[in-house]
């Protein structure tokens, strides 16, 4: 096969993979037209080669290809690796080792984003790092530091906007051996990532812009805003609501989930949250096999604490999603075991641990890498390596259930001298996969 043919083959696989995601009901949207796929198929047919696609899962992002000679070639996945800040490099390294132990072929494209990049390059977003994510379309990211109360906005929020990562996927599941207030959690939170109060439309107290906006609001809303106020705008659109609710239903369908619950505060915010609820009801009509209901957000929080088994997939606007996803994570054992994925309509997906960078523990080989490892499980399934993802999850669950080679936070007594470090936890997971 010539170099040109190999290049064409790689492109063909990406087109076929994209179309397979659509046909399988994947939660990822495809940007490829069927005409492109058919054209690539005809290209290979003219050359006497046929590609047989093995769909590993409904969430396939990349595939395996077998040629007519019967020789199997598995793809090498190029993935952007962002070490992050604080303890990020340690848990990223532990996760990288565990993922590689599954046998999946990955070429890691390592780039810095965040405070470490700021110190080195004078910007938290070096162009090379952003282009790497844009080119590879899949990234595994360590936690990033955001300083509170400063003019510097969240690096995570900026990344979501840069790549239009509109869907934040937050599964929460109880694992035996993880200390948790409940033992029956199996929920998925789908949070809208771009709009709402997190859009960053704010006006500082007593600034000329704030005074102008305040005067306009008072005139149009016929209400008085107290002097010396800071303002934040809550904007929820039909477009943003429709695509996040559709994402939630597509995910439920692809993963055999039975119910989607839209969470809101439409009883008070009748226009903004009322729009979200109305659109959710319209989208639900296209999924008759999936039950749909809605809950007011404060009631939802109470319901999750006392009877979480009644719920399955929750879809929420940005602010509520941020709060409820952490609540659900707490019920399952805390942010230390909470993975997340940020998915964009343009095909970019960034996988991460939800917890912070914990800079006070940096370099101590102490923190639990389980959350990022579980994010690695999500990533493996996303790129079509479902069997490898399942093996990694089983290995993590087995090590945690046994309770011997786990970090201090997974011990009944956090001062237990038998607790292991970040590297040793990864070693135990890798051994479990190989046994």
The residues annotated as belonging to the active site are 198, 265, 298, 322
Distance CA 395, CA 117 (A): 34
SS percent in the chain: helix, strand, coil, step 5: 45, 15, 40
Cα angle, residue 123 at apex, residues 120 and 124 outer, rounded to 5°: 95
CA 283 to chain centre: 22
CA 264 to chain centre: 21
SS3 at position 58 = coil
Burial 14-23 (b: 16+ CB within 10 A, else e): bbbbbbbbee
Q: Using an 8 Å Cβ cutoff, are 313 and 251 in contact?
A: yes
DSSP 275-312: HHHHHHHHHHTT-TTSEEEEEEHHHHHHHHHH-GGG--
Name 33's Cβ contacts closer than 8 Å, sequence gap at least 6. Answer: none
Tokens 């590609």 belong to which residue? Answer: 51
Q: Using an 8 Å Cβ cutoff, are 430 and 137 in contact?
A: no
CA 431 to chain centre: 27
Q: Which of 338, 60, 19, 313 is nearest to 173 (CA)?
A: 338
Name 67's Cβ contacts closer than 8 Å, sequence gap at least 6. Answer: 49, 51, 73
Tokens, residue 149: 């109360």
Tokens, residue 422: 């970040």
């Amino acid at each position: 096969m010539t170099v040109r043919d190999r290049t064409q083959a790689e492109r063909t696989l990406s087109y076929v993979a994209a179309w397979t995601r659509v046909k399988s009901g994947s939660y990822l949207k495809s940007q490829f037209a069927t005409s492109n796929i058919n054209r690539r198929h005809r290209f290979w047919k003219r050359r006497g080669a046929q590609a047989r696609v093995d769909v590993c899962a409904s969430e396939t992002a990349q595939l395996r290809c077998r040629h007519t000679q019967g020789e199997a070639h598995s793809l090498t996945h190029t993935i952007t690796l962002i070490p992050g800040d604080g303890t990020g490099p340690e848990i990223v390294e532990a996760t990288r080792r565990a993922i590689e132990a599954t046998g999946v072929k990955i070429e890691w494209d390592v780039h810095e984003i965040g405070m470490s990049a700021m110190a080195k390059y004078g910007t938290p977003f070096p162009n090379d790092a952003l282009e790497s994510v844009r080119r590879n379309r899949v990234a595994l990211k360590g936690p990033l530091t955001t300083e509170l109360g400063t003019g510097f906005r969240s690096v995570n929020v900026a990344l979501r906007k840069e790549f239009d990562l509109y869907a934040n996927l937050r599964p929460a599941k109880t694992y035996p051996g993880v200390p948790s207030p409940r033992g029956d959690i199996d929920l998925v939170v789908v949070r809208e990532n771009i709009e709402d109060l997190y859009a960053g439309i704010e006006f500082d107290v007593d600034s000329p812009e704030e005074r102008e906006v305040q005067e306009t609001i008072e005139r149009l809303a016929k209400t008085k805003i107290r002097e010396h106020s800071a303002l934040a705008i809550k904007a929820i659109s039909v477009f943003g609501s429709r695509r996040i609710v559709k994402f939630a239903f597509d995910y439920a369908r692809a993963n055999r989930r039975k119910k989607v619950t839209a969470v809101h505060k439409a009883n008070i915010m009748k226009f903004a949250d009322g729009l979200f609820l109305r659109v959710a009801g319209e989208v639900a009509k296209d999924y008759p096999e999936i039950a749909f209901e809605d809950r007011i957000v404060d009631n939802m929080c109470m319901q999750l604490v006392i009877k979480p088994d009644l719920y399955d997939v929750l879809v929420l606007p940005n602010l509520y999603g941020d709060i409820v996803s952490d609540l659900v994570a707490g019920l399952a054992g805390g942010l230390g075991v909470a993975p997340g994925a940020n998915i964009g309509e343009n095909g970019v997906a960034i996988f991460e641990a939800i917890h912070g960078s914990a800079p006070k523990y940096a370099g101590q080989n102490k923190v639990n890498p389980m959350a990022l490892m579980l994010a690695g499980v999500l990533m493996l399934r996303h790129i079509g390596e479902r069997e490898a993802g399942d093996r990694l999850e089983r290995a993590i669950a087995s090590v945690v259930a046994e309770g011997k080679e786990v970090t201090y936070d997974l011990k009944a007594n956090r001062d237990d001298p038998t607790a292991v470090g970040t590297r040793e936890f990864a070693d135990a997971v890798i051994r479990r996969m190989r046994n």
